[in-house]
Every structure is written in C-alpha cells, then in structure tokens.
Structure 1
C-alpha cells in the first residue's frame, strides 16, 4: 500500500511518519501531484497557522490538486481545518471542501486558549472510530476550531462543543493529534489505513 504524506514545509510531519511506520507502513513525504494522485492513502498533518499553510499549498499548486483526490484522505489538526472554507486566523480562504468557517476559541476564567491537553471524544460516528468509545481521550493543541455541523463525526468540548472530527466523501479530518494520542491515536490511524 502506498501512503503519501503531504509535504507543505510545515511542522509535526516527522512524528506522523514515525506513527505510520510503527503500523508497518512505508509513507512517502511528498509535494509531487502525481505521487499524491497515485497513492492509496493521503495524510495531511498540520501544525502552524492557516495563512502560511495555504500560501505553501498554493505555491506548490496543491490547493488545486488536493480537492481532486479520490482515495481516502486524512487531515490532522490544521490539516483538518484547511478542509473548510475560511478561517478567522489571519482571514484565510482555505480549500473549501467542507462548509465550515474556522473560529477562534474565546477564553474564559475556566478555559484557556489554546485548548491544550487530553480531552474525550463524544458522538462518535464513522469508520475512523471503530473499536473506540466516548471514554477514550485524545490530545489536542489548537486555538481555532470548526463548529459542529452535518459533517461532524466526533465532538469534544472547550467549553462548548466543537468538531473533533469531520468527513465528506473520501475526506476525513481530526482536530486532535493522532500521533500524540497514544493507543487511541494509533487505533484511529490503523482504522484509516484499513479504509
């Protein structure tokens, strides 16, 4: 099985590659459109901020390539957010695959921004969460979020509910870091590879 990881010169890519290798995969880090089109699975890990990531995708022509992919595609953290239409983070237009607008968390006396640490998942739906329950926890680091909508396949709260995972056709996204979420994250990556 050919696994491609999108290379947009962002952070956190190496830990995703290591997580996939621990599952027996041999992922390729690439920005080559043909390699991405031919891969059996594509992952888009994200760390950083929306406008820089979109600028890098546009410079490589990947903003036009990624939406045309037909194989299972998994966006992680910022990689999930970029599937939406727009982000409040630096007023950024994104890939437009899902009808959500990314918003910034509003801090209060009990909830700091960024939302950082372990949180449980709720309202689990879809194949990524096979074998998991609402008692399972994953690791988040983010200041922006996608609201809950028809595309939401898992939720978390900080304090109000937000999309912890989304899906539209072959495009999946998780707001949390699978590669930092222990056995639960490994199970989600394994479920993705089995799609």
Structure 2
C-alpha cells in the first residue's frame, strides 16, 4: 500500500491523481496507526515549514516517520521537512536527511521560484533513472536544501540547490513531480520501483 500522509496541504489530491495515472491507488492516511500497513509513504507539503511541523507534531507523526524503514519521499515542503532544520521559522525538522534548508538567494530574479527548470543529475540513483539534463520539472518554492553528499540532482535559480536528495530509505524532490508531466510521471514511477 502506498500511503500519502494527510498534512492538510493543498497538493494531496494532485499527488494522489498522479499515482492513479500510473495505475496505483494510494491511500491518504490521517492516523499514525495506518503507517504500519504501508509499503511506501509520501510526505507532501505546501506552505510554511513551522506550520507543517506543528501539524506533524500535533498529529503524533514524528515517531511513526522515524521508525518507518521502507521508502519515504517528501515532495516540495515535504522534502524540506525531512532535512535537519529550516531557516523558515528557524525550526528543527525531522532530521532524516543531512543538510539544512535556507532561503534561496535569487539575486534580481523573482521570488518565489515558480516555473519549469532543468534537472542536473550529479550521480546515479534509482530515483533519477532515465532522467537527463534535457528534462524539466515544475517548481514553486522560496527555500531549498543546500547541496551536499545527499544531493543527487540540482537545479539553478539564482543559486544552485538540491532538486533530488536521498539518504538510506528517505528521499525528497523539491519540485512537484505531480505537476511535471511525463518527466514527473517517470520520477514517481522511479519511486515506486525503488528497492531499499
């Protein structure tokens, strides 16, 4: 069973529909007891990091996420919550992937970063299978994970930042694969195929 944690954010249905187009019917879960029956988990997110963390804490999700040993993937803010800390609200996050999240230095560009950008794959991973530097995905964000050894793909908007990260059974995509057409569908299928 593919589970999507109900974080109360706006992109849950679009994530669910994207997986349904791949022939998988995910279950949106609202209770930590439902985690045990999941084979994979999606942590979606849109909005402010501190508000999202408060929801996870009040819903008692932290232990369930920490104890889950099968694949977990965060999308957009969900990815950021899997990192060590975020300067958005200066909060400690889930600490599942090394690295911090900070505001993008966009220079003279418009913030938030919103639109289609190319992925730059740094090293191979099951999540980047079939992805090339010609492939574009859709971003909406103003904070990002700083590039480190957990970074498998980057994008540049003012500065270079992590677009795909992974550590052990945890992964994250800063962009919205559910809104990234055929490339996004390939990336979601890669997550479904990922073996730990």
* 3-state SS of 1:46 partner: coil
Where in structure 2 are there 5+ consecutive unaligned residues? none
Q: Secondary structure at the match of 1:64?
A: helix
Matched, 1:144 2:156: no
Q: Which residue of 2 aligns with 1:120?
A: 118
Q: CA RMSD in A?
A: 1.1
Deviation at 1:159, TM superposition (A): 2.1
- Which residue is 2:163 aligned to? 164
Is residue 35 from structure 1 mapped to residue 55 from structure 2 by the alignment?
no
* Normalised TM-score (structure 1): 0.95
Corresponding residue SS for 2:50: helix
Give TM-score scaled by structure 2 length. Answer: 0.95
Q: Which residue pairs with 2:46 in the alignment?
A: 47
Aligned-pair distance for 1:157?
Answer: 0.7
Structure 1 segments, 4+ long, off by >6 Å, are none
Aligned to 1:95: 94
Q: Deviations over 1:7-56 (max 9, x none)?
A: 12122101000001111111110132232122111111111110010000
Structure 1 CA distance for aligned equivalents of residues 96 and 18 of structure 2:
26
Match of 2:20 in 1: 21
Question: 2-side partners of 1:121 and 1:106: how far apart?
Answer: 18
Structure 1 unaligned residues grouped into runs of 5+: none
Aligned length: 193
